[in-house]
Amino acid sequence: MKSWLALVLWCWALAATAAPRTAFQARCEDTIGETLSVLTGTQNGFRIDNTVGFRSLTVMKGKARPGQVVLGLTRTESIVSINVGGRLLTDPASGYECIAPHIEIKLYYPPIVVYVSREFRPGSCAYEEVLAHEMRHLNTYLDYLPKAESRVRQALERRFEDKPLYARIGQAQSLLQREIDRGWMPYIKSEMAKVEALQAAIDSPQEYARLGKVCGGEVQSLIRPVRKRKT
């Protein structure tokens, strides 16, 4: 984001380097209205699915370590939606226009699905242990969203500062949209993706080893027969 944003900021700055304010700048800053950025993060709940076996869950995970068996899985995706608009004023005499950006950003997860392998009977010790592990994943997603929202909101406030942006006539909206598409969208997606490092830390080798030993070895006793049939 930084290289593209630096170029865009430089272009906007060229259009606004006049001191004291010109009559057009005064009109823009005093009458066009405030820059508005609206950012919302939305949770859409979760559901528990007990219908999928551990072999299918292992395939669904996609990046399981060699020999790893996936007993539970928490799945969702990060969605970023951005709408851009704003009021324009033009000054044919100078050849410039100004825009007060109105940016609406929505960050959300679709309903999160928490899978617990169908080999485990709901209410059993092994089931409850696997479910508790997946609840850690679920809560990590739910806790992370407002943190990402806060960081993005602060970055937006620093960038736009309730002031109009200037460009040559006919270019302001396209420059703003390009800044959103090439700068802000990749930046926001990268912020949302940082949650995956937190998720990976939960699935440590130590945690998998612990789950293999809980409930008097119940987990291992349930999956061992299947492993033997495969060998």
Domain ranges of the chain: 2-230
Q: Distance (Å, rounded) from C-alpha 156 to C-alpha 105?
A: 10
Note the pLDDT of residue 217. Answer: 79
Note the pLDDT of residue 32. Answer: 79
Neighbours of 159 (CB within 10 A): 17
Pairing assessment for the beta strands 96-108 and 165-168 based on DSSP bridges: antiparallel
Pairing assessment for the beta strands 46-49 and 165-168 based on DSSP bridges: unpaired
Q: Distance (Å, rounded) from C-alpha 13 to C-alpha 19?
A: 12
Q: Which residues of the chain have pLDDT under 70?
A: 1-19, 64-67, 222-231
pLDDT in tens, 92-131: 999 999 999 989 999 999 999 999 999 999 999 999 999 9
Note the pLDDT of residue 13. Answer: 52
Largest CA distance in the chain: 83
Q: Which amino acid is at 152?
A: V
Q: pTM for this structure? A: 0.79
- Looking from the CA of 209 toward its CB, the CA atoms found within 13 Å total 3
Note the pLDDT of residue 227. Answer: 47
C-alpha angle 210-213-215 in degrees, rounded to nearest 5: 115
Q: Which amino acid is at 182?
A: R
Coil vs helix vs strand at 192 = helix
Note the pLDDT of residue 67. Answer: 64
Q: Distance (Å, rounded) from C-alpha 80 to C-alpha 32?
A: 28
Residues 6+ positions from 124 with CB-CB distance below 8 Å: 215, 218
